[in-house]
Structure 1
Amino acid sequence: MRARVAAAAGSAFALALALGACSKNTGTKTDVDTERKTTGVIATDPKDSLGPAPEVPGAAKGGTFTILRETQISHLDPQRVYSFAGLMAAPLYARYLTTWKDDGKGKLTLVGDLAETPGTNVNNDCKVWEFKIKDGLKFEDGRPITSKEIAYGIARSFNPDLTGGPTYIQEWLADSAQYDTVWDFKANKGSLPPGLTTPDDKTLRFEFKTAHCDLPFAASLPATAPLPPDKDTGVNVDNQPFASGPYKVTKVTPGVEVVLERNDQWDAKTDPVRHQYPDKFVWSFGTTPDAQANRMVADNGPDQSAVAFNTVPASLISRVLGDAALKSRSLLAPTPSANRLTINTQRVTDLKVRQALNYAIDRDGLIKALGGEAAASPLTTLLPPATLGFEKYDAYPAGPNGNPEKAKELLGGKEVPLVLAVRDDDLNQRLGTQLKNNLEKAGFKITVKTTPADSYLDDVKSKNNAWDIYLDAWAADWPSGAAVLPVLFDGRGIKASGNSNTSYVNNDAINAEFDRVLAMDPAAQAPEWAKLDKKIMEEVAPAVPLYVDVSFNLHGSKAGGVFIESIFGNVSFVNAFVKQ
């Protein structure tokens, strides 16, 4: 995970990439506009990082805002948060070194959150960074947040028991993908990892052996959330995270609900992004996507101030798009989330078999199973279109429905058995059936293994998982090939668990290419990532690119302020309110 994206924060950073705007509701067909340019900057003026956040038009205080989701959130511990639901929930109760201002319309600004700015590149070489911590920050019990608690939060991310979260900063500090062997958190619990210091209560300092110009971006992830050492209960932080944001977790009933209530120690004047409009947020688990959509359509009682976190299911898309009355309660936007059929190259060692999977895939059938163009858009590349320097190509051209005969030719007439792992929720069960039927027409024998959705991510990230192929999704942590290709396909960081490289590829030539491109000036990297995308697919074929998600969510008539955020393409709650 060695991503380099932009120039240092000492100068303004700007990017432009194609991201879809919200679609117009034109009946059962929707045309997603992908021509809009999304722009982003790093704020260099400390005033941009000050609060309070601008008031949301029409917003009012009070009420309970409910979020319906089929399965529970994998992790609430900020150092372990990396799922879409977790990334949307965490800003309610946790703050980070930096964060994004997102207007929901294509304008992004990276600002200081706990820090006064998105960081200072001390020597202009991206090896030494300092963050000055804001005044007036407090935890939920009233004690002040200083650089010490932020540093401890980062240090505990070295704990091998706390798997699942991003590992950028750990790897950079250790100068090794095997960061937890370089610095043993448990043996050094009273100290900090090498390169991380707190010269005083207001200063956090990073010193890297090599340049990392993208630290301000990595610092926007939940792994930089603060935690006092006396509140570190290890894996049990998942059940009781300690709040630094506008809400605090007051109840966790596994598999049922998570309740958040106002944190009276949060000061809006320190926060440039978040609000504290509802009295309470309730994440409610166990409702299927169909039931969520039907409840939003019915718009009764407490559901009027709720949002369906799962997207509108395929069976209801036509009905929802055809109902003009639902237009004002619909969120419809393309996302940067790229879905692929990951191939476990430790088990599927024959390149021809991996190439045959690419020729066999019926993307059109998958997209129809998802609900059509309001749910997904086909993808033949590892990088999604919302990436700087993106170039469209198809290494295994087989048309929208695949080429079973070409796949059989590569398989040499043999029936190849493969184990396909799928989550146990309705959508993934349907996709699993579609994939099994599709691939068996092309010469494969597919055994479907169902696994609980809330443990699926941890399972596929385990090096010794017992599966050959499985559905994966990746939304880059910022819009660059550097935040996709090395993260997913650099094999030098493979460990027993917690892997993002779930193809388990470790190719010396590809690894060398990662090093070459990452050493380039960030402005020159974009076209090189596009070339490397194609090289990986042609020479390794570690996955089958499938589709980019389109987010289509419904909310109740009294749920205000929600939008599809631009980094991960899911429903944001930083502006949410209950209409009074």
Structure 2
Amino acid sequence: MRARLATAVGGAMALVVALSACSKNTGDSGDSVDTNKPRSGAIATDPKDSLGPAAEVPGAAKGGTFYILRESKISHLDPQRVYSFAGLMGSQLYARFLTTFKDDGKGNVTLVGDLAETPGKNVNNDCKVWEFTIKEGVKFEDGRPITSKEIAYGIARSFDPDLTGGPTYLQEWLADTPQYDTKWDFKKNKTSLPPGLTTPDPRTLRFEFSKPRCDLPFAVSLPATAPLPPDKDTGVNLDNMPFSSGPYRFTKIQPGVEMVLERNPNWDPATDAVRHAYPDKFVWTLGPDQNTQTNRVLAGTGNDAAAVASGGVPSELLAKITGDPALKARMIVAATPNVFRLSINTTRVTDLSVRQAINYAIDRSSITKNLGGPYGAMPLTTLLPPTTLGYKKFDAYPAGESGDPAKAKEALGGKPVNLVLGTGDETWQQETATQVKNALEKAGFTVTVKPIPADGYLDFVKKKDNPWDIWVDSWAADWPSGASVLPVLFDGRGLKAEGNSNTSQLNSEAINAEFDRVLALDPAKQADEWSKLDEKLMKESAPAVPLYNEVVSVAHGEKAGGLFIGSIFGWPSFVNAYVKQ
């Protein structure tokens, strides 16, 4: 759902508008947040851009074990179900997709072919028919060649309603309906393919749509296009041991404790424009909280010298790190496309004035300060992140960063309101829930906090019949257009029993009609319209409270090299990671 591409620059087509982004200046010149650093995107047109091997990382060396510290297990490892930031970035180690982003870690990204030779061919120049030619020499972990048939099977299994959690762009586009699993039943058609998806030969994958889908090259960069041989499909149990097509393969998965990936001998770097396989192993150590992770990598004893604290630096340790140049050099800081909001279940909180009162009441400053201030979060009053094409800043419920309890009470008009606040059990989630509860109670609400298990958080809040009125949600656009934010989060026509990205469960005929109107426009004319629709949503429906744009600050050991914050998902990327010898 990107904007239209413009004129050629070198071997790539540049996006019409540079993407406004935020990045942290961690040099000696100061610690101010630069909100105007340009971020640019492109799609490769020269097939050479999609060839491997990836350019060598200066100073990188092969060998050693790279450690990733994380508090809880990743929601899903099955590529067709992956949709968390840790899952999206981690999956690059063991899965390959039709396309992927070449990211320099400085805000410049180029979409290239991954399993495909190029980012796709628009056969009739109408965006309705696309073909991808699969590279020669790409293989699974057991040495079998990857063909169009295994990629098509991976896409087909994403139609299975039991395999919830992943993105649904391809399923909805192929079926031409949000109720894709009712139009094509994977369980009854495992030997066939969904409508519009064909494999004319082992190296050709073809998509045919009833409507133009000009964003397909970007959509197929998501893990739903990871290949899988049918005989390796274990259904929901694929989470327990995925089958590799990437540079590493799983050799051990102990849920909640440890995951070990070792080099896949059948991965050929000559076919890969993005990934390296410098370490012999990657080991995920699960359990330690943010404080423990960060203190361990700062101390750098034993294995922790080659580790990254993926949970981020807790606010109480920021002064220690920023005050010591040696430690500060081991912290990477960058704003992300990730926007956090307080979702309001509109089927439970049906009164618009109550939802508006919640917006007036929230104290953003207490939340962002608790998350580390400019090193952790920047207050936000829009549903769209600043990285969106055509973004415009506005505040539909001006209450200052600290909220306005009096204005909230005025909106309530004396009505007593009880709210059930769901929260995950990770430390930062509980602390944020406390800040939300305190602000709402100052405005006269009665708030009951109920826990949501962290390892299943995404699944639970996406259920239509979940028992919470409000909870903290996050969303990062899969590409920087309002089309991959607002319709995904607030179009109610696709609501189902579970797996809903529209967690607010908003279903407004007027808003849905606006989505259709804007999506029918020339992509180059959509940008301003998404900003207008953002404001309309907030004023007329108030389905959520925008909270903050996430800033990631991550510490690592002195032997952990090649790390950067990914430009698309705002989480540590491991494609260049290496162990300093």
TM value normalised by structure 1: 0.98
Per the alignment, residue 202 of structure 2 pairs with 201
Which stretch of the first structure deviates more once superposed, 404-413 or 11-20? 11-20
Amino acid of the residue matched to residue 251 of structure 2? T
Per the alignment, residue 297 of structure 1 pairs with 298
Amino acid of the residue matched to residue 24 of structure 1? T
Q: Secondary structure at the match of 2:449?
A: strand
Q: How does 1:108-127 map to 2 (within 5 A)?
A: 108-127=109-128
In structure 2, how many angstroms separate the alpha carbons of the residues matched to 1:67 and 1:341? 29
* Pairwise CA distance, 1:373: 1.5
Amino acid of the residue matched to residue 232 of structure 1? D
Q: 2:3 aligns with which of 5, 9, 15?
A: 5
Amino acid of the residue matched to residue 107 of structure 2? G
Q: How does 1:474-553 map to 2 (within 5 A)?
A: 474-553=475-554
In structure 2, how many angstroms separate the alpha carbons of the residues matched to 1:294 and 1:556? 10
- Deviation string, structure 1 residues 400-434 (Cα, Å, up to 9, x no partner): 11100010111112331000000001111111111
Contact kept? 1:9, 1:120, Cα under 8 Å: no
- Deviation string, structure 1 residues 446-478 (Cα, Å, up to 9, x no partner): 100011101111000000000000000101000
* Pairwise CA distance, 1:8: 9.8
Count of residue pairs brought into register by the alignment: 577
* Pairwise CA distance, 1:17: 1.1
Per the alignment, residue 384 of structure 1 pairs with 385
Amino acid of the residue matched to residue 399 of structure 1? G
* Residue 251 (1) aligns with residue 252 (2): yes
Amino acid of the residue matched to residue 206 of structure 1? F
Contact kept? 1:8, 1:126, Cα under 8 Å: no
Per the alignment, residue 179 of structure 1 pairs with 180
Per the alignment, residue 440 of structure 1 pairs with 441
Per the alignment, residue 238 of structure 1 pairs with 239
In structure 1, how many angstroms separate the alpha carbons of the residues matched to 2:410 and 2:306? 55
In structure 1, how many angstroms separate the alpha carbons of the residues matched to 2:259 and 2:7? 37
In structure 1, how many angstroms separate the alpha carbons of the residues matched to 2:260 and 2:452? 26
Amino acid of the residue matched to residue 162 of structure 1? L
Per the alignment, residue 18 of structure 1 pairs with 20
In structure 1, how many angstroms separate the alpha carbons of the residues matched to 2:6 and 2:231? 35
Amino acid of the residue matched to residue 471 of structure 2? Y
- Deviation string, structure 1 residues 530-571 (Cα, Å, up to 9, x no partner): 000000000000000000010000000000000001001110
In structure 2, how many angstroms separate the alpha carbons of the residues matched to 1:308 and 1:531? 39
Amino acid of the residue matched to residue 543 of structure 2? P
* Pairwise CA distance, 1:9: 12
In structure 2, how many angstroms separate the alpha carbons of the residues matched to 1:99 and 1:107? 13
Per the alignment, residue 268 of structure 1 pairs with 269
* Pairwise CA distance, 1:114: 0.3
In structure 1, how many angstroms separate the alpha carbons of the residues matched to 2:58 and 2:348? 54
Q: Secondary structure at the match of 2:131?
A: strand
Contact kept? 2:24, 2:31, Cα under 8 Å: no
Contact kept? 1:151, 1:192, Cα under 8 Å: yes
CA 1:155–1:577: 2 relative to 1, 3 Å: same
Per the alignment, residue 98 of structure 1 pairs with 99
Q: Secondary structure at the match of 2:374?
A: coil
Amino acid of the residue matched to residue 468 of structure 1? D
- Deviation string, structure 1 residues 276-311 (Cα, Å, up to 9, x no partner): 000000111100001011112211111000001011
Q: How does 1:125-136 map to 2 (within 5 A)?
A: 125-136=126-137
Per the alignment, residue 404 of structure 1 pairs with 405
Per the alignment, residue 82 of structure 2 pairs with 81
* Pairwise CA distance, 1:136: 0.3
Which stretch of the first structure deviates more once superposed, 18-27 or 215-224? 18-27
In structure 1, how many angstroms separate the alpha carbons of the residues matched to 2:510 and 2:2? 20
- Deviation string, structure 1 residues 487-518 (Cα, Å, up to 9, x no partner): 00000111100010000001011011111111
Amino acid of the residue matched to residue 53 of structure 2? P
Amino acid of the residue matched to residue 71 of structure 1? S
Q: Secondary structure at the match of 1:414?
A: coil
Amino acid of the residue matched to residue 354 of structure 1? R
CA 1:313–1:516: 2 relative to 1, 3 Å: same
Amino acid of the residue matched to residue 179 of structure 1? Y
Q: Secondary structure at the match of 1:238?
A: helix
In structure 2, how many angstroms separate the alpha carbons of the residues matched to 1:522 and 1:299? 49
Q: Secondary structure at the match of 2:24?
A: coil
In structure 2, how many angstroms separate the alpha carbons of the residues matched to 1:319 and 1:345? 43
Per the alignment, residue 221 of structure 2 pairs with 220
* Pairwise CA distance, 1:369: 1.4
* Pairwise CA distance, 1:441: 0.3
Which stretch of the first structure deviates more once superposed, 495-504 or 311-320? 311-320
TM value normalised by structure 2: 0.98
Amino acid of the residue matched to residue 5 of structure 1? A
* Pairwise CA distance, 1:266: 0.1
Per the alignment, residue 416 of structure 1 pairs with 417
* Pairwise CA distance, 1:231: 0.3
Q: Secondary structure at the match of 2:18?
A: strand
* Pairwise CA distance, 1:107: 1.0
- Deviation string, structure 1 residues 59-105 (Cα, Å, up to 9, x no partner): 00111100001111000000000001100110000000000000011
Amino acid of the residue matched to residue 309 of structure 1? S
In structure 2, how many angstroms separate the alpha carbons of the residues matched to 1:309 and 1:134? 33
In structure 1, how many angstroms separate the alpha carbons of the residues matched to 2:7 and 2:31? 39
- Deviation string, structure 1 residues 2-50 (Cα, Å, up to 9, x no partner): x4533499982424111123322569x8311111111111101111000
In structure 1, how many angstroms separate the alpha carbons of the residues matched to 2:240 and 2:209? 33
In structure 2, how many angstroms separate the alpha carbons of the residues matched to 1:543 and 1:49? 40
Contact kept? 1:5, 1:482, Cα under 8 Å: no
Contact kept? 1:131, 1:205, Cα under 8 Å: yes
* Pairwise CA distance, 1:370: 1.1
* Residue 468 (1) aligns with residue 469 (2): yes
Question: Runs of 4+ in structure 1 displaced over 2 angstroms?
Answer: 3-13, 24-27
In structure 2, how many angstroms separate the alpha carbons of the residues matched to 1:266 and 1:484? 34
Percent identical among aligned pairs is 68
CA 1:510–1:9: 2 relative to 1, 3 Å: farther
CA 1:149–1:8: 2 relative to 1, 3 Å: farther
In structure 2, how many angstroms separate the alpha carbons of the residues matched to 1:337 and 1:250? 32
CA 1:162–1:8: 2 relative to 1, 3 Å: farther
* Pairwise CA distance, 1:317: 1.6
- Deviation string, structure 1 residues 210-256 (Cα, Å, up to 9, x no partner): 01000000000000000000000000110111100000011110111
Per the alignment, residue 336 of structure 1 pairs with 337
Contact kept? 1:8, 1:124, Cα under 8 Å: no
Amino acid of the residue matched to residue 234 of structure 1? G
Contact kept? 2:293, 2:309, Cα under 8 Å: yes
* Pairwise CA distance, 1:435: 1.1
Q: Secondary structure at the match of 1:347?
A: coil
